[in-house]
Amino acid sequence: MRVYNTLTRQKEEFVPRDPGKVSMYVCGVTPYNHPHIGNARPFVTWDIIKRYLEQCGYQVHHVQNFTDIDDKIIRTAKQEGVTWEVIANRYIASYFAVMDKLNVRRADRYPRVSEHIPEIIAMVQGLVDKGFAYAVDGDVYYSVEKFPEYGKLSGRNLEDMKAGARVDIDDRKRHPMDFALWKSAKPEEPSWDSPWGPGRPGWHIECSAMSLKYLGQSFDFHGGGSDLIFPHHENEIAQSEACIGGEPFVRYWLHNGFITLNEEKMSKSLGNFFLVKDILAHYSAEILRFFIVSTHYRSPLDFSDERLTEAGRSLERLRTAVGNCLELNKVEHTGENDAAKLLHKSAVQAQAEFFAAMDDDFNTALAISSMFALAKELNIYYSAVSSGKSEHDAEAYAIARDIYFSMAEVLGILVEERAGKLEGGAGLINQLMDIIIELRQAARQQKDWGTADKIRDKLNAAGIVLEDSPQGVRWKHR
């Protein structure tokens, strides 16, 4: 398995620190609002990476934090006249509700900053003791000049950063890029006692302190959006490696790409920032998930109505194959035959291609194409068996079906269909199509050609074609 490491800017062979085990830390959300599309992408991505690692036999330990002490939370709490805990708890609940809908499985642990103040203070004290940090008037800053490798993740150097820094810098800092590890208390803000007086942690220190506590001094994957590379992850490296020394703090840094809206970068200032719950009012969570995984995680993801609609259509094609499998499950074994041999061969090939794509830096976009190839073969086989042209080889078919379902499991899609919850071939759409076809037949019997043609034309516009067959009217995707 090869993964792209942001630190070395190349794909590297993945070798876990401990054989058979994978430890990963993912930067979580700051719960001051409902999750937006930019939150959905990393968490769906990491869910799939985890599912795939598990399918490869690894035991995965996944830790993801909540930044529950933050300016934005404090501000929102003030505006609403409630405590910061109320805001944090409300939006943590919203995070879980949205991620559950997106079929993102839970991490093993969700540490919160507010519950790790002693660990954070101990780490800041350690950095002060070692000379990497200094206290000024109740604040503690990290001294970037003391860490010679500062800038190695983001590919920046201190001289350039100093030159680029704004003039109105804080003169209490020794270098403009020095960052706060501890901030002295301001009136009406939550604070905790510390050796430097009452205050609260800076943003970056939490991830160093909490990953150390739950994953140890060195772990396999650290993930997040590419907007976190600088300064957040750069600062995490400076803190953790100064503190522990020796082994690299993180073995592989993985970052997902940006989201664009109609090819324009999404940001709050442009007002094109979408909350997941608003998107889910128009599209199913499964379509949104499938849309996210249809693009490789490092590539930009362009968000538009057209693309979501397209994702919905593609998903429907994959769903049809599951529906056909559910039908085939009911057919009795009659014997070996050429169609089944071909299906078996195609399935094994599709599986090899799927694994190869996922082994190449979790290339879900390519992996999905092997899933489509297998869906097509399953549909061909289903037609051959259901039309009586071929015998049914239950054993060979079951192998192909299981491969297909395991691909869907890695991608976290077609869950209900696979569980057989949606009855009648391809599920709900088949039931609806039965109703529509029946209504059109009734119109034709009454010689109401206008209505019959209108139904056919509207279906056609939606990408569905009706065909007359000896068994009656059938439908298919165009």
Residues found near Zn ion in the complex (CB under 5 A): 27, 207
Smaller CB distance to Zn ion: residue 86 or 92? Answer: 92
Q: How far is the CB of 233 from Zn ion (least distance, A)?
A: 7
- As measured in angstroms, the least distance from the Cβ of 244 to Zn ion is 17
DSSP 216: -
Toward Zn ion, which CB reaches closer, 207 or 385?
A: 207
Please give the C-alpha separations between residue 108 and each of 18, 25, 212, 221, 238, in angstroms, as whole numbers. 18, 10, 15, 15, 26
Pairing of strands 59-64, 21-26: parallel
Q: Is 27 annotated as a binding residue?
A: yes
**End-to-end Cα, the chain, rounded Å:** 37
Q: Which one, 47 or 417, has the nearer CB to Zn ion?
A: 47
Residue 213 annotated as lining a ligand binding site? no
Least distance CB 191 / Zn ion (angstroms): 22
Give me the least distance between CB of 88 and Zn ion, in Å please.
16
Three-class DSSP labels, 395-461: HHHHHHHHHHHHHHHHHCCCHHHHCCCCCCCCCHHHHHHHHHHHHHHHHHHCCCHHHHHHHHHHHHH
Smallest distance, Zn ion to C-beta of residue 146, A: 21
Q: Which is nearer to Zn ion, 27 or 411 (CB)?
A: 27
Residue 236 annotated as part of some ligand binding site: yes
Q: Cβ 204 to Zn ion, closest distance in Å?
A: 7
Alpha carbon distance 19, 381 (integer Å): 41
* Residue among 70 and 361 whose Cβ is closer to Zn ion: 70
Measured between alpha carbons, how far is 200 from 186 in angstroms, rounded to an integer?
Answer: 9
Number of residues in the chain:
478
Q: Compute the CA torsion angle 344, 346, 349, 353 (nearest 10 deg).
A: -130
Name the nearest CA neighbour of 74 among 65, 62, 86.
Answer: 86
Toward Zn ion, which CB reaches closer, 222 or 296?
222
268 is in an annotated binding site: yes
Taking the C-alpha atoms of residue 292 and residue 299, their distance in angstroms, rounded to an integer, is 11
Amino acid at 439: L
Q: Which residues are annotated as a binding site?
A: 27, 207, 232, 236, 268
Known binding residues for ATP? 268
User: Binding site for Zn(2+): residue ranges?
Assistant: 27, 207, 232, 236
